[in-house]
Amino acid sequence: MPRRDSPGPESWETLFTGISHLVTPAPGPQRGPAMRELTVVEDAALLVQGGLVAWVGPRRDAPRTPSTRDLGGVAVVPGLVDPHTHAVWAGDRLADFEARLAGVPYEEMLARGGGIRSTVRATAAAPMEELVQLARPRLEALARSGATTVEVKSGYGLDFEAEVRMLRAVRELQSLLSVTLLPTLLIHVPPETGRAAYVQAVCAELIPQVAGEGLAVAVDVFCEREAFTVGETRAILSAARGHDLGVKLHADQFHALGGVELACDLGALSVDHLEASGPAQIVALAASETVATVLPGVTLHLGLPAAPARALIDAGACVAVGTDLNPGSSPLFNAGLALALAVRLNGLTPAEALTAGTVNAAAALGLRDRGALAAGQRADFLALHSPDWRDLVYTLGASPVRDVFVGGERISL
């Protein structure tokens, strides 16, 4: 249960020692070869003041402080950022899973009114308290896996009241959990009839309401053949921009329809999925500030091609990795495992994966204050079981993460 341990009087300033290696990317988004440039400090110390990193360096050079905490000789890395989840849902997709294993494609289930639409029916019928109860253990699992910041999308509501209920559930979850939650309004599936009027109402009613109540920091659209067209996506994201909300896209999951190009043109925070992206999309992303977020859980669970993260990094793009935790395409409740899969399935090096899951994932959420262990950054960090940080992306099926610190305080897991 990730709540902060009660802070002692010394908690304003603590020097952490017993760090075999402190390993971190530089602050801010990193692209191309810079994704591999980690700073490694052997026998390190980390000074936390008021929830922020105040100093990092070799232990022998550390400033003197009354309060020290020995971590026992293990590796320390920044807290992970999961930039893409659909952690709030009701019902399950176990029958879908079996049907898919028997050969029915995911898109076909959606086209037949199943898939995402079945989760929409169950979620729209659930009261907010039930959504909170269902989502809480999922977010606790992500926190245990090392995620100290997690994006959570709506998108299973369809009708506006249910979308707003999902976002209110995220607000309630934030009051129960120590990790930071970033709520995103996701416009996910069009209604079966009256889609033009629906898009119009999303722009004129839903987005203004969500912005007015401060219920989301960004708007995302699923741009795909079975979902929204490029034109509809542009209209919705332009309305979001008009209300000072960040913009993001689900694009190129099954078909490269132009969603990536739209994301780059709009200067979106991120464009996510990219399993169907090819050379033209890679060139566009390499030339833009938009973060390319890949979701290896989807590749594993749906058997889709892996997004071309290796080629994106080689071309100079800024790549992030997320779990895409959701019941249909990625039941992956572990942010470290998403990085481990990105190494195996998308061809990232361990160093690139750490950067993708920290500073670059933070940039995909418009955040630059976290993801690196450097003076001025949030003191969100992980103490591993191992003295070698690479265990984070090597281990499969057991947790390489021993302790999770948020703002310099250990959360109980």
Q: Which of 324, 352, 391, 409 binds ligand NIG (CB under 6 A)?
A: 324
Nearest distance in Å: CB 116, ligand NIG = 4
Could you give the CA distance from residue 339 to residue 360 in angstroms, rounded to a whole number?
Answer: 13
Pick 41 or 325: Cβ nearer ligand NIG: 325
Could you give the CA distance from residue 398 to residue 337 in angstroms, rounded to a whole number?
Answer: 9
Nearest distance in Å: CB 33, Fe ion = 28
21 in a labelled binding site: no
Counting contacts by CB under 6 A, is residue 298 touching ligand NIG?
Answer: yes
255 in a labelled binding site: no
324 in a labelled binding site: yes
Pick 78 or 322: Cβ nearer Fe ion: 322
Nearest alpha carbon to residue 155 among 182, 189, 197, 108: 189
Pick 62 or 152: Cβ nearer Fe ion: 152
| Among 140-148, 283-291, 299-307, 316-324, the segment contacting Fe ion (CB under 5 A) | 316-324
Pick 87 or 406: Cβ nearer Fe ion: 87
Could you give the CA distance from residue 66 to residue 155 in angstroms, rounded to a whole number?
Answer: 49
298 binds, among Fe ion, ligand NIG, none (CB under 5 to 8 A by kind): ligand NIG
What is the length of the chain? 413
Cite the DSSP H helix spans in 357-401: 359-363, 391-394
Counting contacts by CB under 5 A, is residue 324 touching Fe ion?
Answer: yes
Nearest distance in Å: CB 89, ligand NIG = 7
Report the run of H or E that residue 125 belongs to, with start and end: none
Counting contacts by CB under 6 A, is residue 334 touching ligand NIG?
Answer: no
275 and 255 Cβ atoms separated by less than 8 Å:
no
137 and 70 Cβ atoms separated by less than 8 Å:
no
Pick 66 or 103: Cβ nearer ligand NIG: 103
218 and 246 Cβ atoms separated by less than 8 Å:
yes
Work out the end-to-end distance of the chain between its first and last CA atoms, rounded to an integer number of angstroms: 5
| Among 125-133, 197-205, 301-309, 317-325, the segment contacting Fe ion (CB under 5 A) | 317-325
Counting contacts by CB under 6 A, is residue 222 touching ligand NIG?
Answer: yes
| Tokens 């495992």 found at | 337
Nearest alpha carbon to residue 189 among 118, 255, 295: 118
Neighbours of 355 (CB within 10 A): 32
188 in a labelled binding site: yes
Counting contacts by CB under 6 A, is residue 328 touching ligand NIG?
Answer: yes
Nearest distance in Å: CB 195, ligand NIG = 17
Counting contacts by CB under 5 A, is residue 352 touching Fe ion?
Answer: no
Distances (CA, A) of 303 to 23, 129, 381, 395, 396: 33, 34, 33, 22, 19
Q: Which of 35, 41, 46, 116 binds ligand NIG (CB under 6 A)?
A: 116
Rounded to 10 degrees, the C-alpha dihedral 243/245/250/251 comes to 70
Counting contacts by CB under 5 A, is residue 151 touching Fe ion?
Answer: no
Could you give the CA distance from residue 44 to residue 15 in angstroms, rounded to a whole number?
Answer: 10
What residue numbers does the annotated binding site for Zn(2+) cover? 84, 86, 250, 324
Q: Would you tell me which residues interact with ligand NIG (CB under 6 A)?
A: 86, 115-116, 119, 222, 250, 253, 298, 324, 326-329
What residue numbers does the annotated binding site for 4-imidazolone-5-propanoate cover? 93, 156, 188, 253, 329
Q: Would you tell me which residues interact with Fe ion (CB under 5 A)?
A: 324
